[in-house]
Amino acid sequence: MQKDVDATKAKVPQARSWDDPLIGVRLYQVPFNGGIGEASDIDYIVAQKIPFPGKKKAASEIVYHDYLHHLETLNASGRKLLREVKQTYFSLFAI
């Protein structure tokens, strides 16, 4: 249960950040016996996805509330275990 809480907490900054930028090179019509310098066309590509305003904030809030849900579930299971231990103790040692 604690690992679920830790894993969900680690997702909060990931949900807030932008996607990774893309960098690439395209080569067109490269001859088999020649080199890359003999290609007829070379394209250099740089791209970055820019999210719609507010979309990343909303996504991070959803993940944060999911983290809070996991945390409360962990706390509830701890309280339940404590209650069962106390009930068992008092039922064993009740006069």
d(CA 41, CA 47) in angstroms, rounded, equals: 19
- Percentage above 90 pLDDT, the chain: 53
CA-CA-CA-CA torsion sign (37, 39, 40, 46): negative
d(CA 74, CA 82) in angstroms, rounded, equals: 12
pLDDT of residue 79: 95
pLDDT of residue 4: 84
pLDDT of residue 81: 95
d(CA 18, CA 37) in angstroms, rounded, equals: 35
Over residues 10-55, the pLDDT tens digits come to: 888 888 899 999 999 887 776 667 666 676 777 899 999 999 999 9
Per DSSP, the chain holds a count of helices (H) and strands (E) of 2, 2
pLDDT of residue 5: 85
- Percentage above 70 pLDDT, the chain: 89
